[in-house]
């Protein structure tokens, strides 16, 4: 495991401490989870952008033509 020094404004540090305490975890665990969540978000966007570059309009149109032309199920309007 790597140690990392991070400088935070006092107000941010205080809020992190409060939230970590509320979840009954350490500040380190809270920050590690927050960084992991952000990483997952960025990596997901990168993946989706990469997949989008492979998109093909004619394939999309073909699949859309396969969808039945019926009214939406009540609640799904």
Segment 7-57, tens digit of pLDDT? 999 999 999 999 999 999 999 999 999 999 999 999 999 999 999 999 999
Q: In this predicted model, what pLDDT tens digit does every residue of 9-21 receive, in sequence order?
A: 999 999 999 999 9
pLDDT exceeds 90 at position 1: no
**Per the domain annotation, does 25 fall within a domain?**
yes
* 3 inside domain: no
Residue 75 domain flag: no
Domain for residue 73, yes or no?
no
Q: Which domain holds residue 34?
A: 17-66
Asked if residue 77 belongs to a domain, the reply is: no
**SS3 per residue for the chain:** CCCCCCCCCHHHHHHHHHHHHHCCCCHHHHHHHHHHHHHHHHHHHHHHHHHHCCCCHHHHHHHHHHCCCCCCCCCCC
Domain count across the chain: 1
Categorize the per-residue pLDDT at 70 as very low, low, confident or very high, splitting at 50, 70 and 90: very high
What pLDDT was estimated at residue 60?
94
């Amino acid at each position: 495991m790597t140690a990392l020094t991070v400088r935070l404004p006092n107000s941010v540090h205080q809020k992190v401490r409060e939230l970590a305490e509320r979840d009954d975890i350490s500040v380190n665990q809270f920050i590690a989870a927050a960084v992991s969540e952000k990483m997952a978000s960025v990596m997901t966007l990168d993946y989706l952008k990469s997949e989008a570059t492979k998109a093909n309009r004619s394939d999309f149109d073909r699949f859309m033509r396969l969808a039945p032309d019926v009214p939406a199920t009540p609640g799904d309007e």
